[in-house]
Chains A and B, each alone.
Chain A
Amino acid sequence: MHRTGELYEQYRTLEQQRETASLGMWIFLSTEVLFFGGLFMTYTLNRSTYPAIFSEASKTIKLSWGAINTVVLIGSSLTMAMSVWASQVGKRKLLTFMLIATLVLGCLFLGIKSIEYHDKYVEHHIPGWNFQFEPGADAATNAHTQLFFSLYFGMTGLHALHMIVGAGLLLWLIKESLRGRFTPEYNTPVENIGLYWHFVDIVWIFLFPLLYLIDRH
């Protein structure tokens, strides 16, 4: 693929290239919605089958970590939105700063998540790995709480994987932004990776109440 300046050879204008990339990202995100959709469907069915077990299992997850992480992630969406704005108005230093802030917040989220995972490991709540809901729990309770934790790890794990990919993309953005590549005329990557980051954030906004807030009032 050859490109002249920022324009790749298959496009006629920069405007066309920008529209194309943006549409591509939106369509990619719609595939992501359906990808997570399968998990949400599985969650819905299992929770409606075992409502009591799900609320009991949910209470063993520490609410504080989840709440802190929600704030951290929403904060990172704010800094991401600031980066997009900074790239549009050509504030290069602010752009780099905001991208780094987003990355730091993202890593903080992942760090807290790994503390939570470690807690679950200590409590024998890792599905398929010496799983024991509580000492002396009967086989049915163990099986059904294990369903909850399979979904917990499946959903938050897939979400964390998306965060890790996002962190990689942010690293690349920071590198390019330090080189001064993004200008008010060309900032498509910042915009698109921003969209991705917000999507990952929104997924968490759904995961947090579904996994942490069942029956807590």
Chain B
Amino acid sequence: MPREHYLNATYGIRSWLLTTDHKRIALLYLASVTFFFFVGGAFATMIRIHLLSPKGLLVTPETYNKLFTMHGVAMIFFFLIPSIPAVLGNFLLPIMIGAKDLAFPKINLLSWYIYLIGGCFVLYSFSTGGLDTGWTFYTPLSSVYSNSAVTPAVLGVFINGFSSILTGLNFIVTVHTMRAPGMTWFRLPLFVWAQYATSIIFILGTPVIAITLLLAGMERMFHLGFFNPALGGDPILFQHLFWFYSHPAVYIMILPAMGVVSEIIPTFARKPIFGYSFIAGSSIAIAVIGFFVWAHHMFVTGESTYAALTFSLLSYLVAIPSAVKVFNWTSTLYKGSISYDTPMLYALGFIGLFLIGGLTGLFLACLGLDIHLHDTYFVIAHFHYIMVGGAVMGYVGGLHYWWPKITGKLYPEFLARIAAITLFLGFNLTFFPQFILGYLGMPRRYASYPPEFQVLNVMSTAGASILALGYLLPMIYLTWSMRYGEVAGPNPWPGTGLEWRTPSPPPTENFEVTPEVTWEPYDYENRPDLGLDVKGAPALAHGDD
């Protein structure tokens, strides 16, 4: 390990709280999103325990409403949306393009503080009466009828939005102006392309949810009528404005995970990625088309048939770039020298789970079928396959893949593989039964259910407890490895990106000399510096146990 790096360059609490180093800010985000992950996870645990019995085991129906709402708000706005961009993106984006830092380091720190302030508002809401509107804050329930602490929660999510906007702005500008000599657009790692596409959604979508929630909050505080039919307002307008952001927000969660997978797969298949420009372009296509599908959340609001048809068609279209990615990843694996290290297990798990999540999304984009499946557990299962099976798998896989870079230490490989498999099995046991429950007609957001659904619900809860174990394990061994892990060296896998050409952990300025990029991305064949005999047997990262 290098003697001096970004972690020990300066000491003391001030050097962390006032840092402008993107790598330290990434770690600040890591700590805070992990906190919210466990807050959201605690609510999920209570939901699953409650649903063990048809009448509900744990809480009153009113409290149940609060549990699923607070689970959703904590997980979506404070974990999933910032997770990969603000943690891995923050850490890696400047290093991957050969820059010393993001374009606006102070704004980067500011975005973390904004996130914290938003988080405090939301925690205040959770602890003083809770929140029972659903994470969607539909009006007029949220603006008139709810008796829970809606105002601080709405303000918290509003404030937190600016943290996303600033991160997105910073990333876009950084990619445009901060690339190292030779780092052309089509030499950018696909992770950077994915972050760029995500940032487009951040800057174009987030302001709309911000103003919408502000209006809903004003409506509640001052009894105005924008979205209240009793005062001449239109509740459907709220839904349109809400989903104009919140559907693209789904792509905010999944696109960065796709970027992570695009990095992991070539590394552990020892092959250049298949169809680089198609994967890069499909990220942008998803970001763009993703803005034109929002009203598929509203097929049962009585919107016009023509609007519904158009949105249904566009929703089918957005599946094409996603499919392009899946085909390209599989083609990369074809005839590759595949090793099943932990990050690869997550990436392969991602492909399978995302495939199921994506295809069931097409069921829901289908007008007739959606009438049957709308607001059932089928929808819950579908988006958990995308968000947990996709986004979280990608995030945890990425954390493992870049952990040696972030900390300079290797995690225990055997334990990590066990955890990856536990997560995969636990996840499927939790959410696959929910597809069946939804198909059979169990509605979402109900605190009780008919007795014939109990077996599937018990399966789901059993799966959730395995899933919880799968999350606790990495939490424990990753923390352990920071102190006791084996020293990783600059490029343990080895990977081809610029981030692997600087020491682990990197120095504060990322590179001792500004790198000059002369090679194509993911090119394993012309990189003698990696010490690989790519035509023969691949060298393994660490002893194959």
Contact = CB atoms under 8 A, between A and B. Distances in A.
Interface of A: 1, 9-12, 16, 19-20, 23-24, 27-28, 30-32, 34-39, 41-42, 45-46, 49-50, 127-129, 140, 143-144, 146-147, 150-151, 154
A39 B218 CA distance: 13
Interface in B230-263: 230-234, 237, 241
B306 interface: no
A20 to B, nearest CB: 4
B10 interface: no
Contacts of A34: 203-205, 207-208
A20 B225 CA distance: 42
Given A38-B215, A39-B211, A10 B232 contact: no
Contact of A38 (B104, B172, B176, B211): B211
A31 B233 CA distance: 26
Contacts of A154: 215, 218
Given A36-B211, A147-B231, 8 more contacts: A10-B101, A12-B514, A16-B178, A24-B173, A31-B169, A31-B206, A46-B233, A143-B231
Nearest to B210: A35
**3 tightest Cβ-Cβ pairs between the two chains A and B:** A128-B222, A38-B211, A35-B207
Interface string B431-468: 00000000000000000000000000000000000000
B165 interface: yes
Contacts of B230: 143
Contact of A143 (B204, B211, B232): B232
Interface string B89-122: 0000000000111111110000000000000000
B224 interface: yes
B226 A10 contact: no
B510 to A, nearest CB: 10
A47 B101 CA distance: 47
B212 interface: yes
A10 B177 contact: no
Contacts of A49: 232, 234
Nearest to A50: B232
A27 to B, nearest CB: 5
Contacts of B45: none
Nearest to A15: B177
Contacts of B101: 9-10
Nearest to B106: A1
B20 interface: yes
Interface in B483-541: 509, 514
Given A10-B100, A12-B514, A147 B226 contact: yes
A27 B199 CA distance: 11
Contacts of A20: 103-104, 173, 176-178
A143 B233 CA distance: 9
Contacts of B231: 143, 146-147
Main secondary structure of the interface of B (DSSP, over half): helix
B223 A10 contact: no
Given A16-B177, A34-B204, A38-B241, A10 B211 contact: no
B167 to A, nearest CB: 12
Contacts of A129: 222
A158 to B, nearest CB: 8
Contacts of B212: 38
A187 B241 CA distance: 39
B165 to A, nearest CB: 5
Contacts of B105: 1, 10
15 contacts: A10-B100, A20-B104, A20-B176, A23-B172, A23-B173, A24-B104, A24-B173, A31-B165, A31-B203, A34-B208, A38-B208, A38-B215, A50-B232, A147-B231, A150-B224
Contact of A9 (B100, B176, B222, B233): B100
Contact of A35 (B103, B172, B211): B211
Q: Which of A10, A49, A129 has the most CB of B within 10 A?
A: A10
A3 B15 CA distance: 18
A49 B205 CA distance: 26
Contacts of B210: 35, 38
B291 to A, nearest CB: 11
A19 B178 contact: no
Nearest to B177: A20
Nearest to B203: A31
A99 B204 CA distance: 31
Contact of B102 (A10, A42, A46): A10
A38 B241 CA distance: 7
Interface in B17-38: 20
Contact of B208 (A19, A37, A46, A50): A37
A24 B169 CA distance: 7
A45 B239 CA distance: 13
A111 B3 CA distance: 60
A151 B219 CA distance: 11
Nearest to B21: A1
B225 A150 contact: yes
Contact of A42 (B104, B172, B215, B223): B215
A30 B203 contact: yes
B169 A147 contact: no
Contacts of B232: 46, 49-50, 140, 143-144, 147
B241 A10 contact: no
Nearest to B212: A38
A38 B207 contact: yes
A132 to B, nearest CB: 14
B177 A27 contact: no
A154 B218 CA distance: 9
Contacts of B203: 27, 30-31, 34
A11 B514 CA distance: 11
Interface in B279-304: none
Contacts of B222: 127-129
A23 B176 CA distance: 9
Contact of B237 (A24, A36, A42): A42
Interface in B43-78: none
A41 B104 contact: no
Contacts of A31: 165, 169, 203-204, 206-207
A16 B180 CA distance: 12
Contact of B241 (A27, A41, A140): A41
Given A16-B177, A23-B177, A30-B203, A143 B225 contact: yes
Contacts of A19: 177
A12 B224 CA distance: 52
Contacts of B178: 10-11, 16, 20
Contact of A45 (B205, B208, B234): B234
Contact of A28 (B169, B205, B237, B509): B169
A128 B215 contact: no
Given A19-B177, A28-B169, A147 B233 contact: yes
A38 B216 CA distance: 12
